[in-house]
Structure 1
Amino acid sequence: MVNQIESKKHRLQQLLESLTSRKPIKQAIIALESINRSFQWIGTKGKTDADDKKVNQDTPFFLASIDKMYNAAIVMKLSETGALNLNNKISTYLPDTLTKGLHNLNGVDYTERIRVRHLLSHTSGLADWLEDSPKNGKSLVDQVVEEGDREVTLEDMAALVRNRLQPHFPPQDLTAKRPKVRYSDTNYMLLIAIIEEVTGLTLAEVHRKTFIEPMNLTHTYFPGHSGPIDPTPDPMILRANGQEIQIPHLIHSIRGIYSTARDTLTFLRHLVQNDIFQNQKTFSLMQENWNRFGFPLDRAALRAPSWPIEYGLGLMRFRLPRIFSPLHPMPPVVGHTGSTGCWLFYCPQMDVLTAGSVEEVTAGAVPFRIVPKILNILRS
């Protein structure tokens, strides 16, 4: 048994070395542990700053869209207490200045049809304020990477979606067998606004009360909003095509989170073991209806999660179609990824958790290549 465990760790280290040998990736963290903690491993590679400090097990990384899973869990907790209702219109909680005319498609304003559940499930059809491009223009994320950092308010985001971007489809009938799903960061910025409106607290304060303090996530923090509980090393360097980028203002604007491999695995463990919610059925509700993304047909969709990924309420489910591994089908994993090549997944069939990041904004597809290889090593 000891030799088998050491063999798996050796192969995981080889996978890490292979990952960081491919341009433009220069750094990586891969972490995994079984639910019963009989197997644990964290591998790191790369340097964090000009002083050549090495990435280590406690090095934080930007969670990017992994935070959607955290924020969805908060919304579900608020729904348990009756502070909000998933079936209510978003205008129930948000001012007209933010929502009015937000979803205008072919001359019809569908905004009043958008429910909280539409935001959670990416079925609203709203344009993506960050990734979608206006006619004859660049997306905001491209502008930031090419021209430099900027602060963006919720009102700025709403104005961009309202005035310059086109919705993709009307808000879907959520009782339909196959509603359309389109990944949009706008959905989750609106959910952040709802969380802050309903609680009367900043998102960072809500996270501190809900997750950080109860779970002892001592290296998890919101840059510009709140710091970590314990002294924390410098974070991994965020890069685009291998070149360092500094975007503290944008990360501050989107209420971005930094955390470590250990902290993220701790959060996911609490989530999948149903320790977060009062009602034992709440986590199951987040997975009750999986809707598959379509094939990407435009540049923004190519950069976002798409086929064969499915989405529930704040959760992704990913498994490779059997055609790609007919002899050893990949078991499904549940969790979330981020556009910087980060991931946080649970594999129910193998009872294992995995997290990691390469901190490279052009590497959003990396988790979907790496996670199947991790699982193959573990079950070999």
Structure 2
Amino acid sequence: MWKLMDTKKCDKIFNQAIKSKQVHEFVLFVENSNGDFSYKNEYGDKSIDSPLLMASITKMFTTTCILILLEQDKLSLDDKVSRFVDKKKLSELHMYNGQEYSFDLTISSLLFQTSGLPDIFEERKDSLKKRVLQEDFNINFDEIIKLTKQLKPHFAPDAIKRAYYADVNFEILGEIIETITASSLEDAFQSFIFKPLGLEKTYLPQNEHDFIPSIYYKERYISRPKFIKSSRASGGGISTARELMIFLKAFFRGKFFKKEVFHQLNKYKKLQTSMYPIQYGGGYMRIPLNGLSTVFVGKGELVGHSGSTGSFAFYYPHKDLFLVGDVNQFANPALPIRLAMRIALSIK
């Protein structure tokens, strides 16, 4: 039985968050599986039905398509990427210690972030992130591959205990989905996810008429529709808190795929130090709540994803809670994760 005290604790965390100079708008939506506990709060121009940038939460949608194709026997996690992607594009993508590993990459390497490939969004002096802050621009798959080849991988594919978060892994998965389905990624999402769940406000933007929310970077309010349209499989999705809740419950409660298929994803590795305490499984994050980051006072874990623009969608199995929200702040990607952790720990 959920208590009134639990909602008061959520109120307290919410009200503390909106006092931050970085938080100009905030939406929070928390429910348990059957909906007998439901909490929402809204601030600024965000409501649970307002469009929000999913950013990297989109990776869970890409993961969903991969698992559905796996159930349809159209791919295996052990399949080589070269089975689906042009070998000329892959050539010299992964050169490590003088050896080429490009053709050793598997779907599993991409899904679990164990490819070792570098991340052009965060790395380099002229990283995509720095460029996004200055201007809006398009970037296609071939350009993403070309830029990735200019950086050094961090380790050989599937090295023991190694994982490195890089958007390129999911951009390649998007290409694989398009190859197998002989359709656009947008159509695959629509067929596999949006239509079955009845999601009418969740989409991958394709043209100039598709609405794309603007983003706060500290005090600046910036619009980057071209780049968001380019991010597609790794971070280009738009949704609402209400519809993200529907998707999140479907993802973790077996509505898309059998338990034995989903079970293949729960093998976690620590990501690079800069992303502590996040671990990565197959297409989603795991955040332990019983470790150093919570001074060992928590129990269980959060599983799901956050986005660099302040979005988050996590399941807390220990309390059977689903947490969805958005602070729409590009300057502090750790903020939504800290908020989700605090909310999970506050509810008894």
Question: For the superposition of Structure 1 and Structure 2, which TM-score range results when normalised by the shorter chain?
Answer: over 0.9
Partner of 1:281: 260
Alignment of 1:85-104 (within 5 A): 85-104=76-95
TM-fit CA distance, 1:330: 3.6
Q: Which amino acid aligns with 1:172?
A: D
Pick from 29, 33, 36: which aligns with 2:34?
36
TM-fit CA distance, 1:225: 5.1
Pick from 297, 317, 341: which aligns with 1:348?
317
Alignment of 1:1-380 (within 5 A): 4-5=3-4, 7-47=5-45, 55-133=46-124, 137-146=125-134, 148-162=135-149, 164-173=150-159, 178-224=160-206, 237-255=214-232, 256-277=236-257, 279-287=258-266, 289-296=267-274, 306-325=275-294, 328-379=297-348
Q: Which amino acid aligns with 2:85?
A: L
Contact kept? 1:271, 1:283, Cα under 8 Å: no
Report SS of the residue matched to 2:273: coil
Stretch deviating more after TM superposition (333-342 or 322-331): 322-331
Give distance in 2, aligned partners of 1:225 and 1:208. 16
Give distance in 2, aligned partners of 1:143 and 1:328. 40
1:96/1:324 CA distance change after superposition, 3 Å: closer
TM-fit CA distance, 1:159: 0.8
Report SS of the residue matched to 1:364: coil
Corresponding residue pairs, total? 345
TM-fit CA distance, 1:324: 4.8
Give distance in 1, aligned partners of 2:208 and 2:71. 27
Percentage of pairs with the same residue: 28
Contact kept? 1:25, 1:242, Cα under 8 Å: no
TM-fit CA distance, 1:188: 0.5
Q: Which amino acid aligns with 1:155?
A: D
Q: Which runs of 5+ in 2 are unaligned?
A: none
Give distance in 1, aligned partners of 2:293 and 2:130. 32
Q: Which runs of 5+ in 1 are unaligned?
A: 48-54, 229-233, 297-305
Give distance in 1, aligned partners of 2:264 and 2:36. 29
Partner of 1:301: none
Give TM-score, length-normalised by structure 2: 0.93
Report SS of the residue matched to 1:359: coil
Partner of 1:50: none
Q: Which amino acid aligns with 1:293?
A: L
Give distance in 1, aligned partners of 2:110 and 2:212. 30
Q: Which amino acid aligns with 2:131?
A: Q
Contact kept? 2:121, 2:128, Cα under 8 Å: yes
1:26/1:235 CA distance change after superposition, 3 Å: farther
Give TM-score, length-normalised by structure 1: 0.86
Give distance in 1, aligned partners of 2:44 and 2:306. 21
Report SS of the residue matched to 1:62: strand
Give distance in 1, aligned partners of 2:219 and 2:174. 31
